Copies of this chain bind each other. A is one copy, B any other.
Amino acid sequence: MPIQVVFSALEWAGGSRPKYLQLYDFIRQAILNRQLKGGEQLPPSRVLARQLGVSRTTVMQAYEHLAAEGYLAGQSGSGTFVSALAPGQLGLLGLKAAERPAVPSAVLLSRRGEAASGLPVGGIAAGNNLRPFRPGVPALWDFPFSDWFRLMARQSRKLGFDAFGYGDAAGYLPLRRALSEYLRQSRGVRCEPGQVIIVHGAQQALCLACQLLLNPGDGAWIEDPGYNGAREAMRLMQVRPIPVPLDEEGISARAGREAAPDARLAYVTPSHQYPLGVVMSLGRRLELLEWAAEREAWILEDDYDSEYRYSGKPLAALQGIGRHGRVLYLGTFSKVLFPALRLGYLVVPPALAGHFQRAKSFSDRGNSILEQATLAAFLEEGRLERHLRRMRLLYKERQDALLYWSGKILGDELRIYPSDTGLHAVGWLQQGADDRRVAEHLLRAGVIASPVSGYTQQFRQAPGLVLGYAPYREEQIREALERMAEVLEGLQL
């Protein structure tokens, strides 16, 4: 094709893209389409500029840029040529060639990618659906955001420029100090700042622990029913989650040994089992520690919301009573402050600290500085304690409201037992009810309620609904319960 004809197809687009870049795009595509072939000479910039009605600079800039990328060669006195490229290489790029059909994911993904891919996304869906009784979210409206942001502004001025470079991947040291002090005091956790690894929430703590401590294919006990996020992390890390049945004392090492004697880890929520709210008995705690010491296995203690204990002091952490360094303790600020902060922590035995710090560095080089520094000040100044005190009262009130209105509106249709702690309660449906079906109907009526069976693996539970109450006002709770009454009536349970 004569070269003038090629260029006659050029149409200038409106918009902000400069002309020299439009010309660059055009010539590049012509080369890739093989309208312009390797070795072919391009018109001198002056000539092409005249043909296209643009300035010579425009053409020269386009040529220069194409030369820098290797599409054109020999820009000196002797003229500008299309680079000689292997024909196969151009065929590969042909812009007119049809895209290959999307390859099925089985071909695309690794085995571990595939293992994680098969799992439905649990946890909490994104989006603007913060309404009763979506669980797992604290009272965002009652968080002292203006204080938080003021503190953040102050910290941003206080931090030296150096702090905005690469920091310690295990976390900002003042935060790790304040946190270990807080955990010692309030949770009976035995730890030094060096044992604390700041992470992006419980999920990352789970992933790191599975990755560093378990081999692919190793088994790990999980509570059944339990936190689905733990299964997700395990699948991603190619660890086999092994459901262990739950009773009113928590899971038992005896049942775990029956299910999988060679498991290498037990993931537990002893302070406030998720989602049923059981507190693990001391006997069961000791059994678990005994098992871990005997088998040189690990206990991963997730203490996700025990700060919200309404009566008395929160129970001491399992980590604080084990003596053999087999317990890893993890917590998150998602429930205590707000989820979008994405800050949590993992307290590891001293012998593991260096390894976890290194793995955190290899994983993501650590967390953002500003939020860590703000949180450190929030802890140091006693603001966390104050916030927790306020929230405990508020959540207690809201749980009371849930219990009161549920009794009043739903009576025996939904039995909720008071809980000493947490952000949610379980409402038990009448025997024989299908909690998934109920939840689907509720959702259609605008009420979110997670069916208990959605948290179970192998062991059936009575039908029930997990009801978050922390972020919702009494009127919202009452109104949602009224809608629930209509739905349950409609279903003729």
Contacts and interface: CB of A to CB of B under 8 A. Distances in A.
A95 B161 contact: no
A139 to B, nearest CB: 10
Given A89-B283, A92-B286, A213 B161 contact: no
B363 A323 contact: no
Nearest to A90: B286
B163 A117 contact: no
Nearest to A202: B365
A103 B207 contact: no
A285 B334 CA distance: 44
A316 interface: yes
Contact of A342 (B90, B103, B233, B366): B366
Given A32-B321, A108-B213, A340-B368, A362 B166 contact: no
Nearest to A101: B351
Given A110-B214, A153-B149, A340-B369, A361 B232 contact: yes
Contacts of A156: 145, 149
Per CB-CB distance, the 10 closest pairs between chain A and chain B, nearest first, are A70-B282, A113-B212, A89-B286, A340-B369, A200-B364, A232-B362, A204-B364, A164-B338, A126-B168, A140-B161
Nearest to A214: B110
Given A312-B68, A323-B94, A108 B368 contact: no
A85 interface: yes
Interface residues of A, number: 126
A165 interface: yes
Nearest to A61: B312
B167 A126 contact: yes
Nearest to A204: B364
Contacts of A88: 290
A398 interface: no
A368 B365 contact: no
A74 interface: no
A344 to B, nearest CB: 9
Contacts of A71: 282
Nearest to A338: B164
Given A361-B232, A362-B207, A286 B93 contact: yes
A460 interface: no
A345 to B, nearest CB: 13
Interface in A94-125: 94-95, 97, 99-100, 102-103, 105, 107-113, 116-117, 119, 121, 123-125
18 contacts: A64-B312, A70-B283, A83-B283, A90-B286, A95-B323, A108-B213, A108-B351, A108-B355, A109-B212, A124-B166, A130-B162, A140-B161, A145-B156, A164-B341, A201-B364, A207-B363, A207-B364, A342-B368
A165 B137 contact: yes
A86 interface: yes
A394 to B, nearest CB: 15
A51 to B, nearest CB: 23
A148 to B, nearest CB: 8
Given A71-B282, A107-B296, 8 more contacts: A64-B312, A119-B362, A121-B358, A123-B166, A166-B334, A200-B200, A229-B365, A236-B359
Nearest to A292: B92
Contacts of A69: 282, 315-316
A403 interface: no
